Amino acid sequence: MIRRSASAILLAPAVVLAVAGCSQIAAIAPVGGDRLAEVRYAVNDVLIEEGIDILVAPVCTVGADEVTVTCEGSTGDERTIDATSEVESSDQIVVRVGDEVVYEGSLSAVLERGSSG
């Protein structure tokens, strides 16, 4: 009985460390991944940076050309959110809210800002 209690006491800190490690891995996950995921993370980061109230989070899809990624969602005040990244080798993304371009520039720059806190 004492042996089981001692094992449980020794195992508890290991479980806590493992769980903490998982959350740290999840925090850096947006830095890697496929193009669709990178565009989705960047769009969300831009919206958060700009303080835009999101009603429906943008859903991103890859176009028929297998390169273009488009995302669509909506804001709390019912404006349309749309984003496009058209050329795989290019690092460009355009994010619009309604008729306003809220970001046009480097995809990787947005991801780097998001990963640095």
User: How distant, in Å, are the alpha carbons of 8, 35, 100, 115 from that of 105?
Assistant: 52, 16, 14, 17
Decide which of 10 and 80 is more confident: 80
Say if residue 50 is in the same domain as residue 11: no
Say if residue 49 is in the same domain as residue 84: yes
Q: Which residues have C-beta within 8 Å of that of residue 38, sequence separation ≥ 6?
A: 30, 107, 111
Decide which of 76 and 21 is more confident: 76
Say if residue 68 is in the same domain as residue 11: no
Say if residue 25 is in the same domain as residue 41: no
Task: Note the pLDDT of residue 12.
Answer: 52
**Domain limits at 65?**
33-115
Say if residue 59 is in the same domain as residue 10: no
Say if residue 57 is in the same domain as residue 87: yes
Task: Note the pLDDT of residue 10.
Answer: 52
Say if residue 19 is in the same domain as residue 58: no
> Residue 3's pLDDT band (boundaries 50, 70, 90)?
low
Say if residue 68 is in the same domain as residue 87: yes
Say if residue 106 is in the same domain as residue 95: yes
Say if residue 40 is in the same domain as residue 88: yes
Q: Are strands 69-75 and 92-97 parallel, antiparallel or unpaired?
A: unpaired
pLDDT tens for 25-76 read 344 444 456 889 999 999 999 999 999 999 999 999 999 988 899 999 999 9
Say if residue 20 is in the same domain as residue 65: no
C-alpha 41/C-alpha 39 separation (Å) is 6
Say if residue 75 is in the same domain as residue 19: no
Instruction: Classify residue 19 as exposed, middle or buried by CB count within 10 Å of its CB (0-12, 13-18, 19+).
Output: exposed
Looking at the chain, the number of H-run helices and the number of E-run strands are 3, 5
DSSP structure class, residue 69:
E
As for how many domains the chain has, the answer is: 2
